[in-house]
Amino acid sequence: MAHYVRRYLQASVEHELRETRGHLHALSADLQAVQHRLDLSLRQNDRLAAALARLEARAERSGEALDVLPGLFGPRFDELEIKLRPLIHYDEESVAIRMREGYVLAPRALPTFVTMLANATSKGLEPGTSDVLRRLVRPGMAVADVGANIGLLTLVMACAVGSEGKVIAFEPEATPRANLEKMKHLNGLAWVEVRDQAVGAKAGRLTFHVSEIIGHSSLYALPEAEEARTIEVEVVRLDDVAPGKRLDVVKIDVEGAELDVLAGMKGVIAKNPDLAILAEFGPEHLKRVGQTPAQWFKAFADAGFKPYLIDEATSACAATDAKAAAKLVSANIAFVRPGGDAERRLLQR
């Protein structure tokens, strides 16, 4: 009897075990299927994450490209907006022409000159030099424009120094000076002082040779074909105009009389260790006044200045010397003390 009972109980247990094994096998198969699907999902998620990362990187690059667009096209649109403005009939003698910082006035009697200004960029006839002045001149500075003409670069410097600064503009010839005065008032530049004097090595009165070409007049005799007439003008030294005062930048455009201006500003040079000077260099002008390029550059070097040639197309400044510059027809040279802040600003683009 006990034998049958054991067999019955054993059979019942084996049956339960077989059923349990079957359930476990099925459960294991289900778990494997779930794991497989999970692995597929994870791999798909990895692919999606990689694709998303690529899209984000592409979007970032596109965003960077969009950020660059205003820098590429903004200045061009600004230039177009300025140059599309028509010439303005200011009065019977002058035409107003829009430049980057404001309006300049040009004599109506000189249509070729007016056309040159109208066809120039908004930076004027010397775009590289105007950009160099924008780098050199800072708000609140005191600057001098020697040989200001109608004030193309006076305007640039006046806007750079602002109302807390000071600009002294020298122009002995009546016609360009009248337009310089109009430019000052039209643009509201009360901090610009216009003076009807030439600048030289000694104070006094000298003959001034007026050229047929605006901006070519000089204290030195001109070629016969170019000279229209002579006038007598007052000559001052920068040392007398600004004794003991700060001058941060001096621009000189005097058709061969640059070294006279330099000789009359020794005190300014001594009192302003970070002074920058921009001077027009013209071998033909120097030949006319009996100077050589070597003498011209040496005078600035003796005063402690290092010369940089201004590229009018790009405003880049490269170190130069008399030998290299003598090959040029004309150029503007920036002179700064080596290692000073003015040199740093000059070379910063």
Q: Domains in the chain, ordered, with CATH? A: 123-197+237-347 (3.40.50.150)
d(CA 291, CA 286): 5
Those residues of the chain that have pLDDT short of 70 are 1-17, 19-24, 26-28, 30-31, 34, 38-42, 45, 48, 52, 59, 62-78, 83, 243
Q: Residue type at 151?
A: G
pLDDT value of position 4: 47
CA dist 190 to 184, 185, 338, Å?
7, 7, 34
CA dihedral 286→213→228→89, nearest 10 degrees, is: -150
DSSP single-letter state for residue 163 = T
Alpha helices in 187-326 (DSSP H): 238-241, 258-263, 266-271, 283-289, 293-302, 322-325
| Residue 271, φ and ψ in degrees, nearest 5 | -90, -10
307-316 residue pLDDT tens: 999 999 999 9
Name the residue type at position 253.
D
Whole-number pLDDT of residue 9: 47
**What's 318's DSSP letter?**
E
pLDDT of residue 57: 77
Q: 320: helix, coil or strand?
A: coil
Collapsing DSSP states into helix, strand and coil, what is residue 323?
helix
With CA atoms as reference, report the closest residue to 150 among 121, 122, 125, 127.
125
- pLDDT tens figures, 167-190: 999 999 999 999 999 999 999 999
